[in-house]
Amino acid sequence: MKYLLTDEQTIADLSIFDKPGKTSIYTIFNKTKTQGGAHRLEMIFKNPWADASPINRHAALYQFFSQKEFVYPVDPITIGIIAFYLENDDVRTQIKPESESFGEKIRNMVSIDAERQLIEDGVQACLRVFYQLNIFLQQEDSIAAESPYYEQFRRLEQIVYHDSFNGLREAMNKDDRKLDTIRLAEFDKRLRFDHREFVLQLLELLYDLDVYIAVGQVARNRKFCFAKALADRENFLHLHQVFHPALEQPIANNLDMDREGNLIFLTGANMAGKSTLMKSIGLSLYLGHMGFPVPAENMEFAVRDGIFTNINLADSLSAGASHFYAEVLRVKEIAKTLQSGKRLFVVFDELFRGTNVKDAYDGTIELTRAFCRKKESQFIISTHIMEAGEVLLKENLSIQYLYLPTIMEGNHPKYTRVLKTGITDDRQGMIIINNEGILQMLDNGLKKQKKLCNL
């Protein structure tokens, strides 16, 4: 099975996992009830697929769970008790009732040692789970029969109703009663030793179910859509009304890319929303490769081999590298992956912002031309150097020119954050500086200093 290529920089840029002061995408989806479910969800986030078959199969599975408000069928605390109980597979801890002396039997009637208590807690927890799953399997049988969850549902049935657990099933309705030593020893032997693998498989299925219900809940409550992965459409990406899920009042946009327009040249003033838009697109593609619901009304995409972003690149102070050199190394790293023939989705926010305007201008033009030749990959490049765009516009390149406009209301900029076609020459940097009164503050400070000097 193929997995999506990515790296720590991309994971950080897209806020996949927790960062100080930022809502992570993992946190948005982590509505799991169990520790095992949360860990399973984390592993899914770390390993998106690069294969349309598992992507679409899991998307159908999550979509099924989004169509109804499923309730997790077992007590999460009980699941934790079972997991802890199964960790002890030392046969020396197995209860042997036939060897109990009369004194031990009397003592067990009065009090229980810690080890025996852990075993009894584990067995009782298994009884509760079998009882709760019996109800769930009966209630959901007709719904699961024709669903993408059918295979795992039947596997749950096979374990719960396995002949090896006959005695346990009879004890389901009596799970609140104290077990005598003989029954405790018998159940413990079956659960913890003879059929341990069945119980471990049961836990794995319950962790999966926890994730399915959680992801389905997020899709339903947030009105996310399920993307369709295309294996036979080279460089195709369709996003309708995509937005960033961490924003309270996000602005949605549409985007289409194909082989003839495999690079988006994005311009716009500071604060116009370029970085947020690029994060929204990159994040949606990342979630799409997991089969997860995406923050959009509709999405179809050609499967990528990897996703790489360069949005919040930091200086490498420990290596003595400037911001510009860190950018160069990042471009080189991605160029090597492109050279190997991988089909990538690449995002560069304000390419070469760490150097002088002339070098940034030249570098942006040359790299954009080079990226356009990589028809099997897709790129988004944002820049403030619209003069570079004007040069590229005169050439017959596979570029889409898009911008985020700014509307001036007097001396105050208003940002629509809605994509338009073309290149903008919006420059509001000095307007913002003047609006904040910075130059006036400095000028007033200079006048006060002169007055003090004349005293």
For the chain, the domains span 52-222, 231-424
* pLDDT tens by residue, 343-354: 999 999 988 887
Please tell me the distance from the alpha carbon of residue 267 to that of residue 40, in angstroms, as a whole number: 39
Residue 319: its pLDDT value, please? 47
Q: Which long-range contacts (CB under 8 A, 24 or more apart) does 249-252 make?
A: 250/280, 250/295, 251/416, 251/417, 251/418, 252/296, 252/297
DSSP category for residue 357: H
Mean pLDDT, rounded, of the chain: 89
Burial of 448 (0-12, 13-18, 19+ CB in 10 A): exposed
Asked if 384 contacts 357 with a C-beta cutoff of 8 angstroms, the reply is no
One-letter amino acid at 252 equals A
- Residue 31 phi/psi, 5-degree rounding, is -105, 20
What kind of fold does domain 231-424 have according to CATH? Rossmann fold (3.40.50)
Beta strands in 374-452 (DSSP E): 378-383, 399-404, 406-409, 412-415, 420-421
Please tell me the distance from the alpha carbon of residue 370 to that of residue 373, in angstroms, as a whole number: 5
Cross-strand pairs, 347: 309, 380
> 228-230 and 378-383: which strand pairing?
unpaired
Least confident of 109-113, 221-225, 234-238: 109-113
| 314 Cβ neighbours under 8 A, 6+ residues apart | 323, 326
Identify the CA nearest to 265 among candidates 354, 333, 351. Answer: 351
Please tell me the distance from the alpha carbon of residue 179 to that of residue 172, in angstroms, as a whole number: 12
* pLDDT tens by residue, 60-93: 999 999 999 999 999 999 999 999 999 999 988 8
* pLDDT tens by residue, 290-339: 999 999 999 999 999 999 999 987 755 444 458 888 889 999 999 999 99
DSSP H/E element including 240: strand 237-242
User: Between the CA of residue 44 and those of 27, 85, 289, 413, what are the distances in Å?
Assistant: 13, 26, 10, 42
Per-residue pLDDT averaged across 91-101, rounded?
A: 74
Please tell me the distance from the alpha carbon of residue 440 to that of residue 421, in angstroms, as a whole number: 38
Residue 274: its pLDDT value, please? 94
Task: Name the more confident of 45 and 428.
Answer: 45
* pLDDT tens by residue, 17-75: 987 667 899 999 999 999 999 999 999 999 999 999 999 999 999 999 999 999 999 99
Asked if 175 contacts 127 with a C-beta cutoff of 8 angstroms, the reply is yes
Token pair, residue 213, equals 């219900």
Please tell me the distance from the alpha carbon of residue 451 to that of residue 455, in angstroms, as a whole number: 6
